[in-house]
């Protein structure tokens, strides 16, 4: 494929920043609400346990790629194992998943913006601006997206820690009791069902050949799973120390509600507009990354000669799909039911299945050759 993206090479720090931003964005969406609804006061444990699951799966996939398929991504592994047709089907399936994921994030953030800071602005206007921006970012390819993420990473960390610390005067640690919330079974089930938020495992299997040093991918995966897990746990714990858990599961945008209570005097209050700018910027980078991934995978699966001409069409398709739900409640329900709960089969199941089948086949071929010899 004659595309500069196919030859992209990105540094370890840039890749860590991009993957961390990609996962951390779920903190600004419905993840705190969903985790609290399932685990109540112990919701802060859910991202940590989900990260353990994601980390174990990633280390297994990374070990298999290093050992048997060094320098190959998940599509190339599938082609090597099951043939070009199976590789094309896999690429299209994952591309559709990223396309739907982009549409879901776009609808949720569009609703958040129109209901918080721009209540008189039609959602079509906000969605159109998102579409143009993420299309422009995705058009510049993987290197451009990772460099933007690297510049935004310090701002995200300062904003995340700042939001938690600026609400310290309202903390009530006893509101995190009982320590296991709804129960250990509920916590484990929530962690297993929400583990798909760590979609960076799937992304790393796709951008594997683009890494500047493929052997540094393990470090990228570990950091980009551990850092977002602690960020999400800190956000959820902070919110549940300020507001009761029963209220968290009813809030459509918990972090906006948390930012609104910041008050450090007459001249330091109502700082939610600053945090919304940060959240929207991070969301745009995430949507640009998932849109690029969808275009890249469609190009691989359908054997397009280049990726960039498809990006505007796919961005418009995401915008159209984001408007299909009747309201934000339906949009959140669709995302949680299909993209998160059922997404584990795509995010974790496909990489594990392909590298396992590929390794077994290569071992079988080597034994057959040895037997003939």
Provide CB contacts within 8 A for 127, sequence distance 6+: 106, 107, 110, 319, 322, 323
Eight-state DSSP code of residue 345: I
pLDDT at 1: 46
pLDDT at 46: 94
pLDDT at 4: 44
pLDDT at 225: 94
Structure tokens at 61: 């996939």
Containing structural domain, residue 87: 4-372
pTM of the model: 0.91
Give per-10-residue mean pLDDT for the chain (373 aa): 54 90 85 87 94 94 90 90 93 94 91 83 92 94 90 86 87 91 92 88 86 81 93 91 80 76 74 78 91 94 90 95 88 82 86 92 63 52
| 3-class secondary-structure state, position 308 | coil
Contact 318, 132 (CB under 8 A): no
Cα–Cα distance measured from residue 259 to residue 302, given in angstroms and rounded to the nearest whole number: 45
Cα–Cα distance measured from residue 284 to residue 295, given in angstroms and rounded to the nearest whole number: 16
CATH of the domain at 86: 1.20.1740.10
> Measured in Å, how far apart are the chain's first and last C-alpha atoms?
38
Structure tokens at 356: 């396992």
Give how many domains the chain has, as a whole number. 1
Q: How many CB atoms lie within 10 A of CB 124?
A: 12
pLDDT at 224: 92
Inter-CA distances, 225 with 112, 284, 357, Å: 26, 20, 25
């Amino acid at each position: 494929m004659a595309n500069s993206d196919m030859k992209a090479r990105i540094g370890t720090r840039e890749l860590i920043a991009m993957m961390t931003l990609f996962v951390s964005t779920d903190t600004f969406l419905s993840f705190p609400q969903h985790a609290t609804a399932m685990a109540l006061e112990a919701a802060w444990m859910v991202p940590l346990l989900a990260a353990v699951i994601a980390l174990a799966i990633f280390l297994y996939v990374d070990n298999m790629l290093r050992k048997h398929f060094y320098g190959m991504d998940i599509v190339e592994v599938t082609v090597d194992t099951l043939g070009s047709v199976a590789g094309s089907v896999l690429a299209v399936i994952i591309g559709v998943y990223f396309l739907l994921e982009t549409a879901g994030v776009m609808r949720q953030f569009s609703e958040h913006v129109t209901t918080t800071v721009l209540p008189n602005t039609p959602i079509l206007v906000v969605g159109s601006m998102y579409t143009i921006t993420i299309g422009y970012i995705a058009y510049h390819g993987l290197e451009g997206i990772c460099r933007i993420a690297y510049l935004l990473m310090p701002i995200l960390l300062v904003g995340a820690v700042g939001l938690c610390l600026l609400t310290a005067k309202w903390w009530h640690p006893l509101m995190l009791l009982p320590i296991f919330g709804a129960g250990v079974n509920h916590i484990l089930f929530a962690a297993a069902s929400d583990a798909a938020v760590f979609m960076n495992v799937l992304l790393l299997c796709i951008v594997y050949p683009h890494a500047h040093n493929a052997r540094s991918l393990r470090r990228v995966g570990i950091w980009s799973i551990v850092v977002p897990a602690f960020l999400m746990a800190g956000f959820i714990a902070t919110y549940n120390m300020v507001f009761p858990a029963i209220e968290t599961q009813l809030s459509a945008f918990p972090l906006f509600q948390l930012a609104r209570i910041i008050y450090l005097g007459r001249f330091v209050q109502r700082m939610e507009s600053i945090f919304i700018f940060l959240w929207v910027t991070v969301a745009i980078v995430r949507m640009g990354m998932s849109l690029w991934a969808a275009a890249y995978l469609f190009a691989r699966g359908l054997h397009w000669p280049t990726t960039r001409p498809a990006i505007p069409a796919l961005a418009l398709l995401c915008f159209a799909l984001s408007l299909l739900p009747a309201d934000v409640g339906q949009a959140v329900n669709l995302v949680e039911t299909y993209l998160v709960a059922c997404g584990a089969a795509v995010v974790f199941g496909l990489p594990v299945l392909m590298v396992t089948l590929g390794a077994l086949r290569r071992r079988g071929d080597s034994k057959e050759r040895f037997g003939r010899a």
